[in-house]
C-alpha cells in the first residue's frame, strides 16, 4: 500500500477534486494545445445545442468534442513524465511522445468524422 494513499471517504474525494483542478489549471496555463482545444469546445458544444439534431446525436457530438480534452490531458501527462525522467533525446521517449500526439490526432479525426456523419446524414 502506498504511503500517499492515506485518506479515505469524503476527505479523499475532496483531495482528488483539488488535484483534478490543479491538473486542469496546469494544462490550461502551460499547454497551448489544451487552450486551443478548450476554445474549439467553446465553439462546438454550444453549436451542438443550436443545431437541429436528435438528443442522441447531440450527446455524441458533445462527447467526442470533450474527448479531445481528455486525450490532450493524457498526452500532456505523458510528455511531463518523460521530461521529468530526462530531457535527453531517446528513441523510447520520442515514441512515447509521438504516440501521445497520434492519439490526439486520432481524437480530432473522430470529432470530424462524427460531426460530418451527423450533419451530412
Residues 57, 113, 23: CA angle, nearest 5 degrees = 80
Tell whether residue 98 is among the known ligand binding residues.
yes
Tell whether residue 25 is among the known ligand binding residues.
no
Catalytic residue among 37, 48, 65, 72: 72
Tell whether residue 115 is among the known ligand binding residues.
no
Tell whether residue 52 is among the known ligand binding residues.
yes
Tell whether residue 89 is among the known ligand binding residues.
yes
Query: Is 72 one of the catalytic residues?
Result: yes
Name the binding residues for substrate: 12, 50-53, 58, 72, 101
Name the binding residues for a divalent metal cation: 31, 79
Name the binding residues: 12, 19, 31, 50-53, 58, 72, 79, 88-90, 97-98, 101
Question: Which residues are marked as active site?
Answer: 72
Amino acid at each position: 500500500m502506498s504511503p500517499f494513499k492515506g485518506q479515505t471517504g469524503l476527505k479523499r474525494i475532496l483531495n482528488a477534486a483539488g488535484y483534478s483542478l490543479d491538473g486542469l489549471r496546469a494544462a490550461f496555463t502551460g499547454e497551448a494545445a489544451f487552450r486551443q482545444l478548450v476554445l474549439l469546445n467553446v465553439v462546438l458544444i454550444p453549436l451542438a445545442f443550436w443545431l437541429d439534431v436528435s438528443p442522441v446525436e447531440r450527446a455524441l457530438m458533445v462527447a467526442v468534442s470533450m474527448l479531445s480534452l481528455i486525450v490532450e490531458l493524457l498526452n500532456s501527462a505523458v510528455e511531463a513524465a518523460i521530461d521529468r525522467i530526462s530531457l535527453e533525446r531517446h528513441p523510447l521517449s520520442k515514441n512515447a511522445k509521438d504516440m501521445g500526439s497520434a492519439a490526439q490526432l486520432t481524437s480530432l479525426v473522430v470529432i470530424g468524422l462524427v460531426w460530418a456523419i451527423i450533419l451530412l446524414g
